[in-house]
Amino acid sequence: MEKTCFCPKCDEKYLNVKSNLNENYIFIDWASVSLTNTNRSVQLCQIPANIALTHKNLNYKVQGVMEIIGEGILASDVGHFIAYCKRPHEKWEIYDDLQDKVNTNCPPEKVLRGCALLVYRCL
């Protein structure tokens, strides 16, 4: 199934949404959402906490965000990855591939400069 969507806040057209997996999770490829705006900076608190698919009567809650820092022109230039996970107590945790420990004290105002992937779980 494919469907064209528009952002309710900025009215910018998303790429077509393709649904061919189970409905337990939604993965949003932020990098492909906007082909005209390459600035993917956003605060964690600005990411929609919930998404409703009204045509299927399904509701989803944000569970994670992946940030990619650094881009190169070579295939070997993979960059640096940081995962932000929202825990049941509604607090964000940071999983940084350059750090030894999980940061369990991530403020919701944290700015992500290379937001790449949003993960939502069905309620």
The pLDDT of residue 105? 92
| Total domain count, the chain | 1
The pLDDT of residue 96? 92
Q: For residue 81, is it within any domain?
A: yes
Pairing mode, strands 17-18 and 2-3: antiparallel
* pLDDT tens digit at each of 123 positions of the chain: 555 666 666 666 554 455 555 789 988 887 655 444 555 678 999 999 999 988 889 999 999 999 887 665 554 566 788 999 999 889 999 999 889 999 999 999 999 887 778 999 999
In terms of residue numbers, what domain contains 103?
A: 22-122
The pLDDT of residue 35? 45
Cα–Cα distance between 75 and 78 in angstroms, integer? 7
DSSP for residue 32: H
Q: For residue 12, is it within any domain?
A: no
HSE-CB for 37 with a 13 A CA cutoff: 12
- Cα radius of gyration (the chain): 15
